[in-house]
Structure 1
């Protein structure tokens, strides 16, 4: 006999948005509903119930989850993105609209630039609800589309399943290989059938990378050494448009590009630089005033919650939903220009 689905009791010190917004009344209203892909409230909240240190705690199984379980998702999206259920998202991937001459042509401050977006296939469940057959079908279509790319995007697709040790070592050395997801993704159902259906594509120049069936069905990444942010964005937008010739992405006018984690909705974009700011790092209050002004996030170079090394930080856009892709990258660029300006001023005082 299956276990009865009961209202979860969260400890007082739980800070997840799930624990904040899943009232008993909303739970009772939603607990027996399911989407056309048989995705339920129980599945949507599993990660946040299992992992009480979640920041958000919910995942969508398909685009329908955002409307069927809207009484839960809407307030979470409102708090995280400051975006109401009546707002409309706008997209703009026209790189000509980005004003971003290289802010560090001598390469003294910016070590590398990386811009990525998440994409999921239209008319297909998201990772938490997808079947093995559907996921394998996504991989087949994705690898065919990626292997057809030419010019400076031309490269090779490597399935993780059955990968030999030599290729695996090469991809690990390049920091391209991804592993099964952490405990948050595990509880969300995103590690099912691992590693079947997962893979990595990269171009010959190693400046363009796509992860297939990680947290999102496609994670499309453009990157290179140095600070030519516009060149990185141009390569990304060109690649997206080439892939879209073969694959329709899940998108709607309210939430933008649909992703399994509500934090990525909208542009589903993270635009970042690794930047060396040893002097500004000694005054974190001033550092944070600048990044807050431009809606940026400061991380250590090994990702979220990591510490800085040698005054090197990962700086990225914070806003994703309700702003365009060009705005996201412009925020990051303008903030980086300001950070370099202040760092130079502090150097002169030494």
Structure 2
């Protein structure tokens, strides 16, 4: 598999086939693991880091659950390739910072991704469409069990899995759910909801996770601590919270329909019209407009376009994707032109 092959594919988690996929874009389970008796990546020397990379690559090659994966060493990728993988949620900004002795393993459906030598020696993740954390957990648990037969992980009976950041110790698990919450934003309820989430010891981040702001009414909610809880308990807690948020978003949508339907229809249709007619458009404006169109699709105000197409567009209009599609570097102005061209083509009815 080549990176170029991914440009024209829809990631499995974007297909809008999972539970509550009108509001819940995706669910992700991530596990942090470190090799026993080897310093964490930030403290390891070059030889130790290279040995970790070789050991994990060898273990991946022996693992049946990972037979349909490809390993990309970051030294072999240029800046656009790295940004492309970040935009597809296959690797983090942190992994891209330095390329030495680092790699990412990706399966053909982009359900599975394993980062090597990020903050921890191994950061593996499984993503699923909709509210589907338990399915993601079932998949990643099998991968983790298989890798543990090939690698010795750092583990203490009283602390669980040892991680570079103490908040990840224990299960080493982070569950996160990406939500689209335009109605809560439009009805000025979002700050109250975010404050309640924080009080319950959950994190809220933007579209691209840690260190990013919420744009396009997208929010990622995840657990803060994994120590002292089983994986199933963590997932149950996240699911319970997400169901409450989904219910509040649905109530806000119904309130908009009953109290401000004309205003809502106007915003949705104006957004759709702008996307279909613009010849120059920035990524930020596109995300905001697509958010309104997606809401209109969910509420059946727009019936000629599917949620899957809109989900794809949120990724395809990003800078690295436009440059991969064109197979060349583009200036900011060129990207704004190509973005508008792509959107008009995708939304042509």
Q: TM-score, normalised by structure 2?
A: 0.61
Cα distance in 2 for residues equivalent to 1:277 and 1:147 = 40
SS in structure 1 opposite 2:37?
coil
C-alpha contact (below 8 Å) 2:95/2:115 kept by paired residues:
no
CA positional deviation for 1:176: 2.9
User: Following TM superposition, by how much is the alpha carbon of 1:321 offset from its aligned partner in structure 2, in angstroms?
Assistant: 1.5
Alignment gaps of 5+ in structure 2: 1-15, 257-349
Question: What's 1:327 paired with?
Answer: 233
May I ask how many residue pairs the two structures share in their alignment?
Answer: 239
In the TM superposition, residue 115 of structure 1 has moved relative to its aligned partner by: 1.4
- Match of residue 267, structure 1, among 153, 171, 192: 171
Name the SS for the 1:266 alignment partner: coil
Partner Cα separation in structure 2 for residue 168 and residue 219 of structure 1: 17
For 2:213 and 2:79, how far apart are their aligned partners in 1?
31
Alignment of 1:154-173 (within 5 A): 154-163=68-77, 171=85
CA RMSD of aligned residues (A): 2.9
Partner of 1:297: 203
Kept in 2, the 8 Å contact 1:212–1:218? The answer is yes
SS at match of 2:75: coil
Give 3-state SS (helix, strand or coil) of 1:288's partner.
helix
Name the counterpart of 1:339: 245
| One of 250, 254, 261 as aligned partner of 2:158 | 254
Distance 1:279 1:129 in 2: 45
1:58-73 mapped onto 2 (5 Å cutoff): none
Report the Cα distance in structure 1 between the residues aligned to 2:240 and 2:141, rounded to whole angstroms: 20
Residues 1:113 and 2:27 aligned together: yes
Seen in structure 2, the aligned counterparts of structure 1 residues 309 and 164 have a Cα distance that, compared at 3 Å, is closer
Residue 216 (structure 1) shift: 0.5
Change (3 A) 1:165 1:128: closer
Instruction: Give, in whole Å, the separation in 1 of the partners of 2:24 and 2:204.
Output: 14
Separation in 2, partners of 1:244, 1:134: 19
The 1:326–1:283 alpha-carbon spacing in structure 2 relative to 1, beyond 3 Å, is same
Q: Which residue of 1 aligns with 2:132?
A: 228
Offset from partner CA, 1:146-165 (integer Å, 9 cap, x none): 12233576311122224478
Q: Which runs of 5+ in 1 are unaligned?
A: 1-101, 183-190
Q: Determine if contact 1:149/1:155 at 8 Å carries over to the other structure.
A: no
Could you tell me how far apart the structure 1 residues matched to 2:124 and 2:106 are? 10
Distance 1:280 1:151, change over 3 A: same
Asked if 2 retains the 8 angstrom alpha-carbon contact of 1:110 and 1:274, the reply is: yes
* TM-score (structure 1 length as normaliser): 0.61
- Counterpart in 1 of 2:61? 147
Residues in 1 aligned to 2:92 and 2:167: alpha-carbon distance in whole angstroms: 20
Q: Which moved more, 1:230-239 or 1:274-283?
A: 274-283
- Partner in structure 1 of residue 293 of structure 2: none
The structure with the largest helix share of the pair is: 2
Report deviation, 1:284: 3.6
Maintained 8 Å contact 1:145/1:246: yes
User: Does residue 316 of structure 1 match 2:230?
Assistant: no
